[in-house]
Amino acid sequence: MSAWTELQQELEPGETVEAIVFGAWGWGHAPSLYGAEWEPGYGEPNPPPVPFEKRGVVLTAEEAEPLMESWGFSGGYGAPDCYAVRIWTDRRIFWVTQYDGATRLDSAMRHPFAHMPDMPGG
């Protein structure tokens, strides 16, 4: 399954994606020095689905969708097999939650809203 498809399944009826920012793959890290070269994360596909120059950049849904087709957010235990993300919709903000390497999308409301909070993690 693609990360884009997984995201679409998490959206409520009528909810729209406004922007997406990609970070490093799995347990990888962004360069610590300005201008330093990126290094692929552990297990990151080669070539990387999200080019280094597209990370840390605000992308529209249309720009991000093709970068999300060859990997997924939901993963098993061990090093995560997905990118760190922040995804803004008109209602929520999404990110990847990890428990011992098992990953999935999680979200919070963008504005105060009556709802029943959950307890992420394990």
Q: Which amino acid is at 45?
A: P
**Please, what's the largest Cα pairwise distance for the chain?**
44
What are the residue ranges spanned by the domains of the chain? 3-109
pLDDT tens digits along 48-87: 999 999 999 999 999 999 999 999 999 888 888 999 999 9
Strand partners, 102: 99
Residue 89 · residue 81 · CB < 8 Å: no
Which pLDDT value is given to residue 119? 82
Residue 102 banded pLDDT, cuts 50, 70, 90: confident
Which pLDDT value is given to residue 57? 95
Q: What is the pTM of this model?
A: 0.91
pLDDT tens digits along 13-31: 999 999 999 999 998 999 9
Q: Secondary structure of 24-90 in the HEC alphabet?
A: EECCCCCCCCCCCCCCCCCCCCCCCCCCHHHECCCECHHHHHHHHCCCCCCECCCCCCCEEEEEEEC
